[in-house]
Amino acid sequence: MSDVNLSSSAVTAKDSKFFYGWKIVFVAMLCQGMSLGLFSSAYSFYIPILENEFGASRSQSSMGLSVLMLLVSIVAIFFSKAIDKGAVKAVMAGGVIIASVGLVAVSLSDSLFMMALWFWLLCGSGLAMYGAMPSAALVNNWFDKKRSIALGIGQTGMSFAGFCIPFIIVLLINSIGWRMALVAIAAVLLILVLPIILKFVVKHPQDMGLKPDGNPDYVPVPTQSDALGDVFSDRFFWIVVAIFSLIYTSSTTITMNMIAFAGSLSISPEDGALLVSAIAGVAFFGKLFFGWLNTHWGSKVVLLIIVSALGIGWTVMITSQGFYELLGGIIIYSFAFGGSIPLQATLIADRFGSHRFARVYGVNSLLMMPVFAVIPPLVGVIYDQSNSYVTMLQPFIAGFVLCFILVLALPKKPA
């Protein structure tokens, strides 16, 4: 049963020449930008606050975002079936409210423990409910042949936010303090994001008398099993888990440590903020380009190109001696990383079907978390022991080589 009454709007949408699915893509852009895009980009600016004001070590401060992502994946599993069955609007709206409350609670915290508690439990739960998984599920429902490019456009919200947020966070922290900056972000979520979700979210095109892609000749593929047993026995699923856990961990690590890494090269905090923004800004174009490329080339070929570029960009970054070399590495790496994001969702939807996408995507993301939760804090420990970012970041080169081998091992879809 749909979570909205669409009888009147269905007529308007059906008669309109503009496919309503692109409004869904806009909602996905906004939600992804104001969830993980916002939190991951802003987090690096709070690391000095955690260390200077609350006495956290680098390994402790690095743990914050990793644990958040773990909790996001766990909570997403609990809501994935509701999203697959139709309650997506209610889930997403509730998530915005919970995340906003969490931000205010963090701003009022007077200890590292309480800050971590509210950040992980409330913000983590909220992000799971309105962020990457429900947004990707929505876009996946509305598109078929154009799925890859639609997912790519929808996920540019994370890059757009990542480009803008560092400058906004610096301005807010410098002008009103870090606590009121969090309150301001919570207000934006409630005033901007929540009303848009309530107005525009519709789970299926069929709820408005439409078909995926706006194609009147679309013929549904026969529904596969609704259970997940065959998913776990499919080697394809586990290889995707391994590949994207390594890719996403590399992004989190470099984004979280970019300000400090740039500082070790005598790059100013202002220029460091520009580099953090470049990570997201360049990824914006990577999502569009590789989303488009994937509609013309096979996913396996595109993923091989992406993994190769990731390794090249990373090597340039960690061997940099100054701003422009580091920027060059960031451009190569981030362009490729942006392309990897829609590809994960496309691979899952193409292999396992739209009717159980949220659950498969949710489980896939959860199983990535052991790697995601361990590596960023571990590299923080390596830095604490070696006091060298190069030593800390070098092992990721081997990770990209492993990813390349795993992509070659991806099995073809059964006939």
Q: Quick one: pLDDT at residue 4?
A: 47
**Per-residue model confidence as pLDDT tens digits over 95-151:** 999 999 999 999 998 888 888 899 999 999 999 999 888 998 899 889 888 888 898
Of 160, 138, 132, 163, nearest to 150 (Cα)? 138
> What pLDDT shows up at residue 187?
96
List, for residues 148-175, the tens digit of each pLDDT value.
889 888 888 887 787 788 788 888 988 9
- Cβ–Cβ under 8 Å, residues 376 and 254: no
Q: How many CB atoms lie within 10 A of CB 396?
A: 23
Both structure tokens of 402 = 């492993």
Q: What pLDDT is stored for residue 8 in this prediction? A: 46
| Domains of the chain with bracketed CATH | 12-213+228-408 (1.20.1250.20)
CA distance 92 to 66: 22
* Angle, in degrees to the nearest 10, between helices 235-264 and 323-352: 160
Q: Is the dihedral of CA 149, 233, 73, 240 positive or negative?
A: negative
Q: Return the pLDDT at 2.
A: 45
Q: What percent of the chain has pLDDT over 70?
A: 92
376-387: b or e for each residue (b if 16 or more CB lie within 10 Å)?
bbbbbebbeeee
Mutual angle of helices 38-54 and 156-188, in 10-degree steps: 60
At residue 280, the pLDDT reads 74
* Model pLDDT, residue 13: 53
The answer to whether the CB of 125 falls within 8 A of the CB of 95 is yes
pLDDT at residue number 409: 92
User: What pLDDT shows up at residue 159?
Assistant: 74
Paired tokens of 298: 């096979």
Say how far apart CA 131 and CA 96 lie, in whole Å.
9
CA distance 96 to 27: 13
For 112-121, give one letter per residue: b (16+ CB within 10 A) or e: beebbebbbb
Q: Are the CB atoms for 213 and 146 separated by under 8 Å?
A: yes
User: Taking the model in full, what pTM does it have?
Assistant: 0.74
Q: So what's the pLDDT on residue 11?
A: 46
What pLDDT is stored for residue 395 in this prediction? Answer: 85
Residues of the chain scoring pLDDT < 50: 1-8, 10-11
Q: Which residues of 39-58 are buried (b: 16+ CB within 10 A; e: fewer)?
A: bbbbbbbbbebbeeebebeb
